[in-house]
A and B are shown apart, each in its own frame.
Chain A
Amino acid sequence: MEIIRHLSKEELADLVIQSDERSLRETFEALPTWGRAAAERNEEFWQNQRSAVWSRISSAEHRSSRRLPILAWALAVATIAASGWLLSRPSVVQPQQVRVDPDHELLMEVERVVQIDGPVALEPAALLAEEMVQELPAKHSQNHKKEPSHEN
């Protein structure tokens, strides 16, 4: 009992087969003869079978050789149709996306400012204009304070 517990499935199968082969020895020894006898046919049968196989082979080859040009034609038609469709498609021009480089933009701005720098004779006028611009928001805020409230 202890030995059987340690046997693997395969070893157990081996034991069962060996035991059955011993008890059924006569049957197993006779089986090849029975099989051969049962499947025995006369020479004409084997010859006819070979002829039938060759006949089936030639008809299968004939079928496949007939199928080959059909397949080739189908492939050619499909290729022509696909290329026709591709050529007839209206060419849609993709709008080119303009990418703005902020560094480049800044550089251009600086250059523009440097290049449009006004003549020296106009410098006082420019300063006056600057002062006026600076005074304008201050005055505006004072006037705003003096205005009476409409809410009251």
Chain B
Amino acid sequence: MDTILTTVLTRLAAEQVEEISAEKFDEIMRQHQRRVYRVIFLLVRDRDAADNLTQECFLRAYLKRATFRGECRIETWLLRIAVNLTRDHGKSRRVSFWKRLVGLEQGEEGGAEPRQYPAPGLSAEHTLLVREELAAVWNALSSLSPQQRTIFFLRYEEEMSLAQIASLLDLAVGSVKSQLARATGKLREMKEKQWK
């Protein structure tokens, strides 16, 4: 009985490791790269940085694929890596800002502003409208903490449930709700100012 159980468990463990082979990983990348890139782009507001961080996200996922044991969906796992990377990126950008301020580093002006993003398949007018609307949302949320912005975008742009967000960010659902309420409140204030 013990031998059978050991054999089954060994086979299951081997299957789990085999699940993310190189071929399988390429398939995973094809499936999720757009979403990972989109989430990163909405959080860092920079296309080049988003591209670089997406690559970094998949690199880390590949190197740590043996640690993925299927406790959550693979998409949640990838987005967790992506969100952590954007957080680290934000920290290094803040350091870079202070370095620029004290003259230790030369940098581009207006790094916090969203860059131009011509969206293929959309008319020029529609692209302009989308850009303006998103810029307004970004500006309204700029005074929030990175985590509150992350929660906001995951909820309303990625349409994730509160429980999914809580699992992804390793937070309690109550904490997610209160941070989301602050974010929606900021956006409402901004809209009310616009309407006045």
Q: Which residues of A contact B (CB under 8 A)?
A: 9-10, 12-14, 16-17, 20-21, 23-24, 27-28, 30-42, 45-46, 49-50, 52-54, 56-57, 60
B122: interface (CB < 8 Å): yes
Q: Can you give 26 A-B contacts (C-beta < 8 A)?
A: A9-B174, A10-B177, A12-B181, A13-B180, A17-B177, A17-B181, A20-B181, A20-B187, A24-B191, A27-B187, A31-B156, A32-B158, A34-B157, A35-B153, A37-B119, A38-B41, A38-B131, A40-B121, A40-B122, A41-B37, A45-B51, A49-B54, A50-B26, A50-B29, A50-B30, A53-B59
Pair A10/B174 contact, Cβ less than 8 Å: yes
Q: A39 and B37 in contact (CB under 8 A), knowing A50-B29, A60-B63?
A: yes
Sorting the interface of chain B by its residue count into under 10, 10 to 19, 20 to 34 or 35 or more gives: 35 or more
Pair A40/B120 contact, Cβ less than 8 Å: yes
Pair A52/B55 contact, Cβ less than 8 Å: yes
Pair A24/B127 contact, Cβ less than 8 Å: no
When distances are taken between beta carbons in the complex, the residues of chain B under 8 Å from A40 are: 119-122
**Distance, CA A47 to CA B137, complexed state (A):** 30
Q: Which residues of B contact A (CB under 8 A)?
A: 26, 29-30, 33-34, 37-38, 41-42, 50-51, 54-56, 58-59, 62-63, 117, 119-122, 126-127, 130-131, 133-134, 137, 153, 156-159, 173-174, 177-178, 180-181, 184-185, 187-188, 191
Pair B58/A27 contact, Cβ less than 8 Å: no
Min CB gap A32→B, angstroms: 6
Interface of chain A, main secondary structure: helix
**Distance, CA A39 to CA B153, complexed state (A):** 13
Interface of chain B, main secondary structure: helix
When distances are taken between beta carbons in the complex, the residues of chain B under 8 Å from A49 are: 33, 37, 51, 54-55
Pair B127/A37 contact, Cβ less than 8 Å: yes
